[in-house]
Structure 1
Amino acid sequence: MSNVTEFILLGLTQDPDLQKLLFIVCSIIYLLTLAGNMIISVTIFISPALATPMYFFLSYLSIIDGFYSSSIAPKMIYNMISEKSSISFNGCMIQLFAEHFFAGAEIILLVSMAYDRYIAICKPLHYMTIMRRSMCVSLVVAAGIVGFVHGMIQTTFIAQLPFCGPNTINHFICDLIPLLELVCTDTHTLGPLIAMNSGSLCLLSFCMLIASYVVILHSLRKHSSEGRRKALSTCASHVSVVVLFFVPCSYLYVRPMTSFPIDKIVSVFYTLVTPLLNPLIYTFRNEEVKKVLKKLLGQVRSNKD
Structure 2
Amino acid sequence: MDIKSPLPFETSDKAHANLFNRMVNTLVENDNALSQQIAGITNENLFILTGDQAIQDASVSGEEYPIGITLMAITESNDTGYPTRYGFVKNEKINEYRFVQYYYGNGNEAGSYFTSTGIWFRQWYIASGWTEWHKISGFLHTNIGTTGKQLLTKGEYQKVLFNRKIKDSHNNFDINNNRFICPENGMYLVNAGVYIESFQRYANFELSIYLNGKRYKNIAQQRQSPVSPSDTLSFSLGLYGAANVPANKGDYLEMYLYVGYDGDVSRYVSDNSGWYNYFDITEIGGRNFPRV
Task: Tell me which interval the TM-score lies in, with the shorter structure as reference length.
Answer: under 0.3
TM-score by length of 1: 0.21
Task: Compare the two structures and name the one with the higher helix fraction.
Answer: 1
Q: If the length of structure 2 is used for normalisation, what is the TM-score?
A: 0.22
State the structure with more CA Rg: 2
Instruction: Give the structure, 1 or 2, with the largest relative contact order (CA under 8 Å, sep 6 or more).
Output: 1
